Amino acid sequence: MRFARHLPLGALAGAIALASQAQAQTTITVATVNNNDMVIMQSLTDEFQAAYPDISLDWVVLEENVLRQRMTTDIATGGGQFDVMTIGAYEAPIWAEREWLTPLDDLSDDYDVDDLLGSVRDGLSLDGTPYALPFYAESSMMYYRTDLFEQAGIEMSEQPTWDEVRQWAETLHGSEEGLAGICLRGKPGWGENMAFVTTLVNTYGGRWFDEQWNPELDSKPWQDAIAFYVDLLGNYGPPGASSNGFNENLALFARGNCAMWVDATSAAGKLFDPDESSVAESLGFARAPIAETPKGSHWLWTWALAIPASSEQKEAAQTFITWATSKEYIELVGETHGWTSVPPGTRESTYANEQYQQAAPFAGFVLEAIENADPTDSTLEPNPYTGVQIVNIPEFQAIGTQVGQSIAAALTGDTSVEQALDSAQRATERTMQRAGYND
């Protein structure tokens, strides 16, 4: 009886002890996307907590578009729901300018900021101050089937051109059952077909806007590039190409349905893994093809970790993001998940690592592509924006998606290329006028 009488008191004391222990812990909420590299980061939570026992991590993993909407709502209203946000190269400068992000100007020497690749670091900075730390970066390149090229007697050039690619696609298309000559993005969206299409327009000598922010979507380079794209993908692409994004093309290429594919360098690790790809043995890499100019022919995209200004746990959040983007983290991933799985494109030291060089024969291409992609000088004629496949203005998400839909309509044959670009031009002019860029 006495024991029973004291039981509630004991339980209360226990609860208080547990509660006070919980208070000593700082919990940070990390919002991230469901990409492979981030899934690995989440799986290493225990390693982080072993190194920093007073910080615990709460993960919010969402699909990219959902996450972007969710984070934008929170950061714009100062909701303070997240302490760490996974943002792209597109958001970083825009959000930094609006003072939504915490400046990261007090990074320790151990972090070795100078080891970060220059183009990647600059894309996440505003006036020289970093506002996000790069988690992984990617460019674009060409993947091809070496077995098919050998059979057809085709030799890949050091710098392929789009005219060559068209000839090769014509030769290889249908040479095996269900084989498409080329796979490219067709699914409409600013981060989907427009990422690829913008690099194609860039290399054809086009640009989104002239120096006075007038849209140039009905210009000759756009007409030539889109006509080429529609002809190439329409004639030598897989069936239903207008609904294929990165994932669909990755699946098609991995199971041997594409002779060539131009897309993100981040696909290399997956395609090179025999467990996930049936073409791992015959996988070839080449630079992204060019047309009139090499400028802007391959993109640059960075996923980075940032701390919103509304976070109440800034110190703990900074501890986490410096850990997750450090050299030590890259080594940890290499040791625990294999060297092809390390987050690429962020640090010089990754590419100097012999284990990485041996495990990832595509490393050199990726590094070269990332280093050569210059977001500040991505078009033949000068332009007023920063970004290779993006235009870093808030209106670009809407504009890019709308233009992407017009181009997808041209691809499916619902409209002509000329009509598609005319309507895209008019829609972009209206949006830019409403936003006050020009009269």
Partner 1 sequence: MSMSRQPMASRHALPVKQLLLTLLAWSVAFVIFFPILWMVLTGFKTETAAIADPSFIFSPTLESYQAVQARSGYARFAINSVAVAFGSTLLALLIAIPSAYAMAFLPTKRTKGTLLWMLSTKMLPPVGVLVPIYLIFRDVGLLDTRTGLILVYTLMNLPIVVWMLYTFFKDMPKDILEAGRMDGASTFQEVWYLLLPLTLPGIASTGLLSVILSWNEAFWSLNLTSSKAAPLTAYIASFSSPEGLFWAKLSAASTMAIAPILILGWMTQKQMVRGLTFGAVK
* Residues of this chain that bind partner 1 (CB under 8 A): 29, 31, 33-36, 39, 42-43, 58-66, 69-70, 73-74, 76-82, 191-192, 245-247, 250-251, 254-255, 264, 266, 270, 275-276
Q: Considering only the C-alpha atoms of the chain, give the largest distance between any 2 of them, rounded to a whole number of Å.
A: 92
Least distance from C-beta 280 to partner 1, angstroms? Answer: 11
Question: 193-203 vs 396-412: helix axis angle to the nearest 10?
Answer: 80
HSE of 124 in the Cβ direction (CA atoms, 13 Å)? Answer: 31
Q: Measure CA 140 to chain center.
A: 10
Answer whether 204's CB lies under 8 Å from 225's CB. yes
User: For residue 304, what are the β-bridge partners?
Assistant: 87, 134
Contacts of residue 395, defined as CB under 8 A and 6 or more positions apart, other chains included, come to: 431, 432, 435
Least distance from C-beta 105 to partner 1, angstroms? Answer: 28
Contacts of residue 324, defined as CB under 8 A and 6 or more positions apart, other chains included, come to: 41, 48, 133, 135, 305
Nearer Cβ to partner 1, position 166 or 298? 298
Q: Which residue stretches of 237-281 are H helix?
A: 246-254, 268-271
Nearer Cβ to partner 1, position 206 or 269? 269
Least distance from C-beta 14 to partner 1, angstroms? Answer: 22
**Structure-block tokens of residue 141:** 């390149």
Least distance from C-beta 167 to partner 1, angstroms? Answer: 29
Least distance from C-beta 73 to partner 1, angstroms? Answer: 6
Nearer Cβ to partner 1, position 139 or 383? 139
Nearer Cβ to partner 1, position 89 or 421? 89
Distance CA 315, CA 350 (A): 27
Nearer Cβ to partner 1, position 43 or 157? 43
- H or E element at residue 57: strand 55-62
**Structure-block tokens of residue 42:** 């989440």
Nearer Cβ to partner 1, position 134 or 221? 134
Residue 199, CA distances (Å) to 35, 82, 172, 191, 263 in order: 23, 34, 24, 12, 11
Nearer Cβ to partner 1, position 63 or 150? 63
Which DSSP state fits 101? B
Least distance from C-beta 298 to partner 1, angstroms? Answer: 17
Nearer Cβ to partner 1, position 202 or 266? 266
Residue spans of beta strands (DSSP E) within 162-312: 260-264, 283-287, 300-306
Least distance from C-beta 72 to partner 1, angstroms? Answer: 10
Distance CA 279, CA 174 (A): 17
Distance CA 114, CA 107 (A): 11
Nearer Cβ to partner 1, position 13 or 66? 66
